[in-house]
Chains A and B, each alone.
Chain A
Amino acid sequence: MIVKADQLARELENPENRDDPLIITPRPDINALRSSGAASLDVRLGRWFLACRPSRTGLFDVYEHNAEAPTEAKLTKTYYVPFGEGFVLHPKAFVLGITMEWFRLPANRAAYVIGRSSWGRHGLIIATATGVHPGFTGCLALELSNIGEIPITIKPGTTICQIFFQKVDCGEQGLVDRSSFVGRRKPTLGVIELDQMAKDLAEIKKASLTP
């Protein structure tokens, strides 16, 4: 069930469980949130960006495990945009941004992030619905893409996307997010983890069904 904004405001002001509260910092305007009538919270753009860059790297291959595999530093360029200045997202460009807000989700809350239609109509797409798991803490990386025809300037502090919170039946163990994206203030490419099944299937050279 999606948590409505007025309930969210109540939760932020008076958490049900003080040992495991929902926290958003910088704190949103509680009065505006309470009176918005919305089912989501607008989220602001932070100051760090990460973009892939042309390099001498041949390709990005998650199946190659060797010491010479390109690191994130080799594949990407980091940008910092101070308040008052903008980042220009050119047509067809893709960049990782970050939310200005740091979120802490309790064990009984999950969330997903989607773009705002006002930006979407101008061609700015916030990737797919980014899932945020219970126990997550940190800023959220935003996959920003301009699919329109004209460059778009985006400035830190702008409300750029929205986050919907959901109630989660957390069970007895209290689920938490152990992803490598926890506790970050800057966007990162992260590591694509392959599970055993994917590894086994990727290793098959010749299709042979003979035992």
Chain B
Amino acid sequence: MAIVDYTRARIAAALEEIGRLMQSEFPSQHPKDAIDILQGRFAKRASVLNKIGPNVPIPVLQTECIASLEQLLVYVPILGFVLRSTNVRNGFEAYGPLLHLAESLMGAQTKLIVSSEWEFSPFVYRSITDLPGFVLIGLPATESSNPLVIPLAGHELGHSVWERNRLAGDFNSRIRQSILKEITNNRWNEYQDLFPQHKKDDLDGNWLGELTWQPALKWSLLQAEEMFCDFLGVRLFAESFLYAFAYLIAPGTGGERSVGYPNIKRRVSNLTEAANLLDVTIPPGFTDDFMPENEPTNPTTAFLVSVADTVTSQCASDLLETAQKEADDKACPGRSAERVDRIADGFKRLLVPTADSEALVDITCAGWKCYLDKDLWVGIRQIKPNDWGRVLKDLVYKSMEVSEVSWRLEKAQHSREHS
């Protein structure tokens, strides 16, 4: 059958491209490790296809072709992601400190790939079966040389923490019960208007009844994860997370809200509550910077997402506590106002990066402090005003590099002393 030949050719073409990709100039070891693993997977698939003889039953043959195409479907975008992680537009100096943070949160075996993607928002690849232990964070290509958006990686790291610690399982039964309670106790009339054929007893145990509210459970869990990630972002990056969040998202893109996120006004309100509890200063006008989003027009969707919103909101304090505990237990540094001021003073007054190792959060907060200072280098004749942005970015990246160098040298000295 021709489909076997087609599939063999497609896998061979993928392997050829992987071969070219392996010749890239990798900025760190982990993207290369990922390519090595994927090459092994594709080579194995090619081997399986090559063993298919003329007498293999058609259903078996089709199954193997489907498995091969699925592999292409899943991993070709990942190959592209890895390729774009090598692009020199990326601020590679941020990689070391981000890896340090990822290792603190998820263990020394964590492998990190940071890429620049042609996307509007940062994102993370989830549950990549063949790349266990890898965290793949994509930052928007247009912002890939802007260190001030690095704090948003804190949110993306949160997704990996959520998944690795199986936090969805911790919240699942609680959210399920809360949804049932919310519908039967508070929203029964609305539910009846939409699903008149079901009684209260149908909602728990009757699969047809359960199907009616399952989307609310799914959306509430997604919202809970997003809230956890936002809270972890604030905990890890303090004010700089809020500034980066507003920079990238405010005022919004209009249109209907995503059901997998709290609506933007609720999300911003959650962020400000978390900021207050974590002693993080909320940027002036932060709440007003965001425009309300439209709720879904479909009555069933509107009802279920409203239930999901209510139930997720009830989990907010526990989600914040979980995020805070996660970072505290792993000794992730918090923001120090004194250190931020010192670093920002170095940027502003002396035009120098940090002298020693500093926490990523302090560097990004100092960067934002200077970015928002309209008089930053007024009177400094060396820097022309249209060069301020570029110089600030270079100071922030260089500070990240200085931190990495200090951290690597300490590690090398420690190894020498204990060998």
Q: Is B391 an interface residue (CB 8 A)?
A: yes
CA distance A183 to B384 in the complex (A): 11
- Scoring A100, A135, A183 by chain B CB atoms within 10 A of each residue's CB, the highest score goes to A183
Which of B116-124, B283-291, B304-312, B394-402 touches A? B394-402
Interface presence of A182 (CB below 8 A): yes
Contact with A along B348-375 (1 / 0, CB 8 A): 0111111110000000000000000000
Do the beta carbons of B383 and A182 come within 8 Å of each other? yes
Q: What is the interface size of chain B, counting residues whose CB is below 8 A from a CB of the partner?
A: 31
| Contact of B382 with A185 in the complex, beta carbons under 8 Å | no
Interface flags for A101-116 (1: CB within 8 Å of B; 0: not) read 0101000000000000
Please measure, in the bound complex, the distance between the C-alpha atom of A104 and the C-alpha atom of B27, giving whole angstroms. Answer: 28
Q: Confirm or deny: A154 has a beta carbon within 8 angstroms of a beta carbon on chain B.
A: no
Say how far B286's CB is from chain A's closest CB, in angstroms: 30
Of the candidates A79, A138, A178, A186, the one having the most CB atoms from chain B within 10 angstroms of its own CB is A138
A contacts with B: majority SS: loop
The reply to whether the CB of B170 lies closer than 8 angstroms to some CB of chain A is no
Q: How many residues of A contact B (CB 8 A)?
A: 29
Q: Is A176 an interface residue (CB 8 A)?
A: yes
Residues in A neighbouring B25, C-beta threshold 8 A: 79-80
In the complex the two chains form, what is the Cα distance from A177 to B381 in whole Å? 8
CA distance in complex: A186, B60 (Å): 56
Shortest beta-carbon distance, A189 to chain B, in Å? Answer: 15
Partner of A183, one of B354, B395, B402: B395
| A102 with B382: CB separation less than 8 A | no
Interchain CA distance A60-B395 in the complex, whole Å: 31
B42 at the interface (CB under 8 A from A): no
The residue that B352 contacts in the complex, of A83, A137, A157, A176, with Cβ under 8 A, is A137
Instruction: Report if A152 contacts B (CB, 8 A).
Output: no
Across-interface contacts of B395 in A (CB, < 8 A): 183
The reply to whether B88 and A78 contact each other, CB–CB distance below 8 Å, is yes
- Does A27 count as interface, using CB distance less than 8 angstroms? yes
Contacts of A138 in B (CB 8 A): 394
The answer to whether A183 touches B351 (Cβ under 8 A) is yes
The answer, yes or no, to whether B71 is at the interface (CB within 8 Å) is no
Residues of B within 8 A of A82 (CB): 26-28, 92
Cα distance A80–B28 in the bound complex, in angstroms: 10
Q: Is B387 an interface residue (CB 8 A)?
A: yes
Report the minimal beta-carbon distance from B248 to chain A, rounded to whole angstroms: 23
Which residues on A sit within 8 Å (CB–CB) of B26?
82
Complex contact B92–A47 (CB within 8 A): yes
Cβ-defined contact, B355 with A23, below 8 A: yes
A25 adjacent to B355 (CB under 8 Å): yes
A11 to B401, CA, bound (A): 24
The 9 closest A-B pairs by CB, nearest first: A183-B391, A185-B394, A137-B351, A78-B88, A182-B382, A185-B398, A25-B355, A23-B352, A104-B352
26 A-B pairs whose Cβ atoms sit less than 8 Å apart in the complex: A19-B349, A23-B350, A25-B355, A25-B402, A26-B355, A26-B402, A26-B405, A26-B406, A27-B355, A82-B26, A82-B28, A83-B408, A102-B352, A102-B353, A102-B402, A104-B350, A104-B351, A135-B381, A137-B382, A176-B381, A182-B382, A183-B351, A183-B391, A183-B395, A184-B394, A185-B394
